[in-house]
Amino acid sequence: QKEVEQDPGPLSVPEGAIVSLNCTYSNSAFQYFMWYRQYSRKGPELLMYTYSSGNKEDGRFTAQVDKSSKYISLFIRDSQPSDSATYLCAMSIGSSNTGKLIFGQGTTLQVKP
């Protein structure tokens, strides 16, 4: 079993749809949960991060963490064609002596006008 599982998609939705992206994980020591966005032929960039359980909202994006279920989600409201990208979840135990992140496989999202 991989430490972090993410459905690779691809996921195709019409403009304006609500998008739900998800990851599951097995290591209960993870404390920091991140979503990176990667446009085609670019490096990943941090989109949102959440510490421990709960929700975090930033504009059209909401990140949710359910540590009891070892499940994290990213919701995109009113999706736009500019949201078309690969979304990677990432996790860490935080304050480690290596700074390593564990990444999911990434989900490719296409938002059609």
Partner 1 sequence: NAGVTQTPKFRILKIGQSMTLQCTQDMNHNYMYWYRQDPGMGLKLIYYSVGAGITDKGEVPNGYNVSRSTTEDFPLRLELAAPSQTSVYFCASTHRQARDNEQFFGPGTRLTVL
Could you tell me the smallest distance in angstroms from the CB atom of residue 29 to partner 1?
Answer: 13
Residue carrying structure tokens 């490096």? 43
Site for partner 1 in 71-100 (CB under 8 A): 88, 90, 92, 94-100
Rounded least distance, CB 105 to partner 1, Å: 4
Sign (positive or negative) of CA dihedral 53, 96, 87, 39 = positive
- Burial profile 47-66: b = 16 or more Cβ within 10 angstroms, e = fewer: bbbbeeeeeeeeeebbbbbe
Q: How far is the CB of 104 from partner 1 (least distance, A)?
A: 6
Residue located via tokens 């963490």: 65
> CB-side exposure of 20: number of CA atoms within 13 Å?
5
- Cα–Cα distance for residue pair 55/41, rounded to 1 Å: 30
Residue from the set 15, 45, 57, 78 that interacts with partner 1 by CB under 8 A: 45
From 44, 62, 76, 111, residue interacting with partner 1 (rule: CB under 8 A): 44
Q: Choose the stretch contacting partner 1; rule: CB under 8 A; options: 12-20, 45-53, 61-69, 70-78.
A: 45-53
The binding site for partner 1 (CB under 8 A) comprises 6, 8, 32, 34, 41-46, 49, 51, 88, 90, 92, 94-101, 103-106
